[in-house]
Structure 1
Amino acid sequence: MPDMSAGAALPKPERPRAVTALGNAAEIEAQIVAAFGGAAPGLVLVFASDGSLIAPLTGALAARFGTACRVVGCSSAGEFAFAGYDNRGAVAIAFPAAHFEGEAVWLRRLRDHAALDWMATLRAASARVPDRPGRVRFGILLIDGLSKREELVTATVEATLPGVLVLGGSAGDGLRFGRTHLAIDGESCPQSAVLCLMSTDYRIEEVVFDHFTPAGQRMVVTEALPEERLILEINAEPAAEEYARRIGLPVADLGPRAFAENPLLVRIGRRHFVRAILEVTEGGGLRMMSAVDEGVMMTLGRAEDLTGGFEARLAQLAGPAALILGFDCILRRIALEQAGLQETVGRIFHDYNIAGFNTYGEQHGGIHVNQTFVGLAFLQGEDDDAAQL
């Protein structure tokens, strides 16, 4: 395990910051520059539901912040910065160069399974961002959320960078599921992932939370197309029909709301992980947002308290957070909004300085999951002020 206690719990003059920017592209750029211009950032992350903003915005910001700063962005299914969910503009997060240094690299050609190339790229980045006394390394992973390659990418990163805490999210496209966008300093690349390998003197802590427990109704995948993440049969019955029967709905009523409230769970080791459903296909199959295979045993998930457990987990942090970088599944957002909990979520994000984006999937510990909040807390001293703008 990495030493995540590097850096004393003392106030730091420069802290990670986040801002929500609204308006047209020029107005969004101006607001971000105004918010971060005096911060001398070493890394800026940009998330926007409008994917067409990502490449030009990261390029413009890279020109404004200079060569010492990398600007990395991806399209999303919504954003948040110290308030509730939004999708009207962009969220930007700045990590000051005084406390953060690192690299941003492309992992290209996801459909080609180019794992050997990715490993070479990751090893080179690791050599440029070595371990140093008093600091801890971490990785931020952004993956094309329509590539169906998150499991392979995440496992490759975990194997190549042992001991480095890596987490992230799958880039989205609202609820359109058409095309995602990723960019580094204005350069975009389809069918790719980005790994930001960083070093900091902040203490860091991982936050992982989902709100489901097994409901006891076990099912087995009896026919599937793993490469397409497609379940054709469950218990030797058409997948959509069997799933709908189990949750007490007609097939015609299956959609994002039903999927958000009734996910499938898979047990790995001692834990259950969510395997979310993307859509019902024309042939009556279930297209998933994570890997599937024949013979896999699944169970329905039962929703627990959507916000109470989340806030309780945040209250257990080893110290107050200057910022929590959050990756929150779009299906969690749907469930929270349907439950009328937008204000509660906004208060929690405000109280704990949480900023990030809604994803098509989340990555942590070398695995790809769904309907989970995954976050990285940057812990501050007791006397630090919040980093909200």
Structure 2
Amino acid sequence: MQPNGGIDQACGIVALECDDPDDAGFWTRVAEARARVDAGFALVFFSSLRFAAGPLGTALAQACPDLRYAACSTAGEITRAGVSEGNLVVILFPAASFRIEALCVRDLRNAGMERIVAQVGEAKRAFIAAGAPEAESTANRFALCLIDGLSFAEEAATAALHWGLDDVPLLGGSAGDDMRFGATTLILDGEPASDAALLILVETPVPFHIFKTDNFVPTPNKLVVTRSDPDRRIVHEFNAAPAAAEYARVIGIDPDSLSPMSFASHPLVVRVGGEYYCRSVQKMNDDGSLSFFCAIDDGIVMTVAEPAGMTRTTRAAFEAVRERIGGIDFVLGFDCVLRRIDARNRQVTHRIAEIYRDNNVIGFNTYGEQYLSMHLNQTFTGIAFGPGTAQETGA
């Protein structure tokens, strides 16, 4: 931990945070950190309620001219204090140990899988060709994505990105807007984008491992989607009854009491290939329908699940990663906002925060998570970097 408010790791990654939009000294610290590690790329996560995209981009350009960066608005930030809201987080990657390229995939709703696959495949080939001749193995490459969390296209886009990347593993998070559900913000090198995905290709000698964890257990209770609007991810009916009323009946509460806390405590899951994946409810609408974070359609059978042991499963996931790569130096994390709500509801926020602090997790709360080819909900996805030394990383 550095006295300037950053996290400075052996692998060279530096993370700094700020909760005051008027803190000019923050950008001085960012500039100093950039110079210290010779950073070539930055990830920026910010609360759109506290930090405006325009001034943020201007301040970063003035502090660090020519620094490439990808940014997105969030539904909360993971900082040194754990999970909080109203922050700005800047993560700097040293050029000596992280070769990074980024592109923007636009018009997700209308792009079509073939166009995305072709664009990503071309970018991947160019990225590999530009690398060192000895870096032939894909074992030291991964890809990050930041996706508009209100694009209604995350499933198809994630599958297309994964297909275009082929053997390069993918993970990431869906941008949020502080639970307002109006519009999210993506920025690549000062250029804003919506209905888009930012894809960041990374090559590094630093040991890393991509992982995910969740904590829901399926129950016998089933809900069949009998009337829906797939384009807007709205379910009007479950089991031929009004969606909100039927969901409330099955989980045993009054429909008027439904809230984000209810949806976090009683997630809905679907079974794919023998595994269960969350299809979380975003909100209840005035007409009694339910809006979802993930794709839905008529005929889908959803199972009501119950979260169980978030602290235990989260700690176990990090312990497994630590054993796999010989220790954890830094974790870039994408944590579903519904996990944050559920942790608060179950009064385990401080325990989850402690796990994140112990493992140097920095990232943001999402409207959905990407893991390989899947778009998920109510999941933590992350990439852990091992304790590479300055000599090993070339720093």
The alignment's TM-score, normalised by the length of structure 1, stands at 0.90
Once the two structures are superposed, the pairs formed by residues 14-25 of structure 1 within 5 Å of their partners are: 14-25=11-22
Structure-2 residue corresponding to 1:190: 194
> Which residue among 141, 158, 162 is the counterpart of 2:162?
158
Residue matched to 1:53 = 52
**Structure 1 residue 311 displacement after superposition:** 0.5
- Secondary structure of the 1:128 match is helix
- The yes-or-no answer on 1:98 pairing with 2:102 is no
In the TM superposition, residue 65 of structure 1 has moved relative to its aligned partner by: 3.3
Q: Is 148-157 or 280-289 further displaced after alignment?
A: 280-289
| Runs of 4+ deviating beyond 4 Å | none
Residue 329 of structure 1 corresponds to 336
Q: Distance in 1 between matches of 2:191 and 2:28?
A: 20
Instruction: Letter of the 2:48 partner, please give it.
Output: D
Residue aligned with 1:307, SS: helix
Q: Is the 8 A contact 2:315 2:355 kept in 1?
A: yes
Match of 1:379 in 2: 386
Matched with 1:3 is none
Match of 1:305 in 2: 309
**Residue 223 of structure 1: how far off its partner (Å):** 1.3
Task: Identify the match of residue 82 of structure 2 among 63, 80, 84.
Answer: 84
More displaced, 18-27 or 213-222?
18-27
Alpha-carbon distance in 1 for matches of 2:182, 2:236: 22
Equivalent in 166, 169, 185 of residue 173 of structure 2: 169
Aligned residue number for residue 108 of structure 1: 106
* 2-structure distance, mates of 1:267, 1:13: 41
The equivalent residue for 2:224 is 220
- Residues 40 and 65, structure 1, Cα contact 8 Å, conserved in 2: no
Once the two structures are TM-superposed, the CA of residue 209 in structure 1 deviates from its matched residue by 0.7
Q: Is the 8 A contact 1:273 1:369 kept in 2?
A: yes
Question: Is the Cα–Cα contact under 8 Å of residues 58 and 71 in structure 1 kept in the other structure?
Answer: no
Query: Residue in 1 aligned with 2:269?
Result: 265
Distance 1:115 1:17 in 2: 36
Residue 50 of structure 1 aligns to a residue whose secondary structure is coil
Kept in 2, the 8 Å contact 1:221–1:295? The answer is yes
Residue 23 of structure 1, CA deviation: 1.4
What's 1:37 paired with?
A: 35
Matches within 5 A, 1:319-358: 319-358=326-365
| Cα distance in structure 2, aligned partners of 1:207 and 1:33 | 32
Q: What SS class does the counterpart of residue 82 from structure 2 fall into?
A: coil
How far apart are residue 340 of structure 1 and its match?
2.0
In the alignment, the residues of structure 2 paired with residue 354 and residue 45 of structure 1 have an alpha-carbon distance, to the nearest angstrom, of: 14
Q: Tell me the alpha carbon deviations over residues 211-258 of structure 1, each in whole angstroms, 9 at most, x when there is no partner.
A: 101011122111111111111111111111110000111111111010
**Aligned partner of residue 340 in structure 1, secondary structure:** coil
Distance 1:95 1:193 in 2: 20
- What number of residue pairs does the alignment pair up? 371
Query: Does structure 1 retain, via aligned residues, the 8 Å contact 2:328–2:386?
Result: yes
One-letter amino acid of the counterpart of residue 296, structure 1: I
What is the aligned partner in structure 2 of residue 7 from structure 1? Answer: none
Describe the shift of the 1:129–1:16 C-alpha distance in structure 2 as closer, same or farther (beyond 3 A). same
Say whether the 8 Å CA contact 1:220–1:234 is kept in structure 2.
yes
- What's 1:148 paired with? 152
Q: Is the 8 A contact 1:82 1:351 kept in 2?
A: no
Q: Which moved more, 1:126-135 or 1:199-208?
A: 126-135
The 1-side partners of 2:77 and 2:29 are apart by: 16
1:47, CA displacement in angstroms?
0.5
The answer (yes or no) to whether the contact 1:277–1:287 under 8 Å persists in 2 is yes
Contact 1:325 1:355 (C-alpha < 8 Å) held by counterparts: yes
Deviation, structure 1 residue 123: 2.3
Note if 1:285 corresponds to 2:292: no
More deviation, 208-217/335-344:
335-344
Q: Does 1:180 align with 2:178?
A: no
Structure 1 CA distance, aligned partners of 2:190 and 2:298?
Answer: 41
Equivalents in 2 of 1:340, 1:32: separation in Å?
34
The whole-number CA distance in structure 1 between the counterparts of 2:16 and 2:265 is 31
Aligned partners of 1:96 and 1:198: how far apart in 2? 12
Unaligned runs of 5+ in 2: 1-8, 391-395
Q: 1:278 to 1:246 in 2, by over 3 A?
A: same
C-alpha displacement of 1:59: 4.8
**For 1:311-370, what per-residue CA distance to the aligned partner results, in whole angstroms no more than 9, with x for missing partners?**
111011112122111000111001112222222122111111110000000010211110
Distance change >3 Å, CA 266–CA 13, structure 1 → 2: closer
- The DSSP-based 3-state class of the residue aligned with 2:36 is coil
Moved more, 119-128 or 91-100: 119-128
TM-score w.r.t. the length of structure 2 is 0.89
1:245 match: secondary structure:
helix
Query: Which residue is equivalent to 1:128?
Result: 126
Higher alpha-carbon deviation: 52-61 or 163-172: 52-61
Deviation at 1:19, TM superposition (A): 1.7
Over the residues paired in the alignment, what is the CA RMSD in angstroms? 1.9
Match of 2:141 in 1: 137
| Separation of aligned partners in 2, 1:175 and 1:233 | 24
